Amino acid sequence: MTARRVASYWMVFSVVLALLIAAPLVLPEFWRQFLTEILIWGLLAMSSDLLVGYAGMVSFGHSAFFGLGIYGAAAALLSITPPNLWLALLFGLMAAAGVAAFVAYFATRLRDIYFAITTLIFSQIFYVIIFTWTEVTGGENGLTFRRPPLAVPGLFSVPFTSETLHWFVLAVVTLSYLLLRRITQSPFGMVLQSIRENEARTRAIGYPIERYKIVAVMLSGLFAGLAGVLYAIQNRFAAPDFVFFLVSGEVIIFNVMGGIGTLVGPIVGAAFFLLLREGFSRFFTEYYLIPVGLIFIAMVIFLPQGLLGFMRRSLNR
């Protein structure tokens, strides 16, 4: 990659980042929270892109990773007082990692459609467990809890404001993006992409495909769980709806709308979808999914590379 391209990439990156940092200072409360939500769903979609866009594995399991991240954080915030931000992160990530390991073990030996269906079924298994195990998970009604303060034990503890929460989320999402970018550009990421291009050949060369896939699923699950923890902190409730496979479907919609295999595209896709939803709900109330769904279908047919698809090459250098 030429020096100029590197420079221009980072310049654009910095500008966008600066805008996102400044945003909560100028936006009204509603849009502030909206932007934070976009970032969180964007992180979830990014984690899915690692699998879909780079490893070529369509997963409907992200709702499980995401949901378990939320419930893991909830567990920490409800069982340990005072509510601790870092423990919430830890619990959430561990829960998501556990689920991811479980799913990875069973599903990665299957190809394509079977993998997709299996991950979908796993989401539903967890949904049913959470829905019916009312004593532990609150069942249908879910759990509510308090937001933990931004605290470094022993140094300071200050409750989140919606601005500081936004910046915290932004920091986490930005770091995740940079990390994921590093991963996709590393030798590991290259092997994943080679698996996506031609699995048989990659296996013939001698790579242990299953192991790479398992690691990919686990990484994806971790970042999805991270998104879940952030969601829990922002919204302060957990509900089984987040584990339902439809959420995974929506995430894939973000991926496709934004552009598969671009990492940043999914965030744009999430923004696009959520904005459409916002816009259409003014007119269609809860039936916004009809026009949004139609737009999605049209995009699959006419713009399958997504909004940022044309930038895929440059975003991946």
Residue-level length of the chain: 317
Of 177 and 273, nearer to another protein (C-beta) is: 273
Helix (H) or strand (E) holding 237: strand 237-238
Residue 11: both structure tokens together:
């310049």
d(CA 141, CA 124): 17
d(CA 12, CA 257): 21
| 176-215: contacts with another protein (CB under 8 A) | none
Q: Is 249 in the site for another protein (CB under 8 A)?
A: yes
| 57-96: contacts with another protein (CB under 8 A) | 58
- Per CB under 8 A, the list member of 22, 129, 171, 205 interacting with another protein is 129
| 285-314: contacts with another protein (CB under 8 A) | 286-287, 289-290, 293-294, 296-297, 300-301, 304
Of 124 and 235, nearer to another protein (C-beta) is: 124
d(CA 134, CA 169): 30
Residue 90: both structure tokens together:
């830890």
Of 10 and 310, nearer to another protein (C-beta) is: 310
**Total residues interacting with another protein, rule: CB under 8 A:** 34
Percentages helix, strand, coil for the chain, rounded to the nearest 5? 80, 5, 20
Of 156 and 302, nearer to another protein (C-beta) is: 302
Of 207 and 284, nearer to another protein (C-beta) is: 284
β-partners of residue 156 are: 152
Of 9 and 102, nearer to another protein (C-beta) is: 102
Of 169 and 292, nearer to another protein (C-beta) is: 292
Collapsing DSSP to helix, strand or coil, 239 comes out as coil
d(CA 230, CA 269): 19
Q: Is 136 in the site for another protein (CB under 8 A)?
A: no
Q: Is 110 in the site for another protein (CB under 8 A)?
A: yes
At closest approach, how far in Å is the CB of 189 from another protein?
A: 20
Cβ-Cβ contacts under 8 Å for 207 (sequence gap 6 or more): 191, 194, 195
- Per CB under 8 A, the list member of 16, 18, 128, 175 interacting with another protein is 128
Amino acid of residue 252: I
Residue 84: both structure tokens together:
């601790």
d(CA 162, CA 30): 10
List residues binding another protein (CB under 8 A). Answer: 52, 58, 106, 110, 112-114, 116-118, 120-121, 124-125, 128-129, 131-132, 249, 252-253, 256, 284, 286-287, 289-290, 293-294, 296-297, 300-301, 304
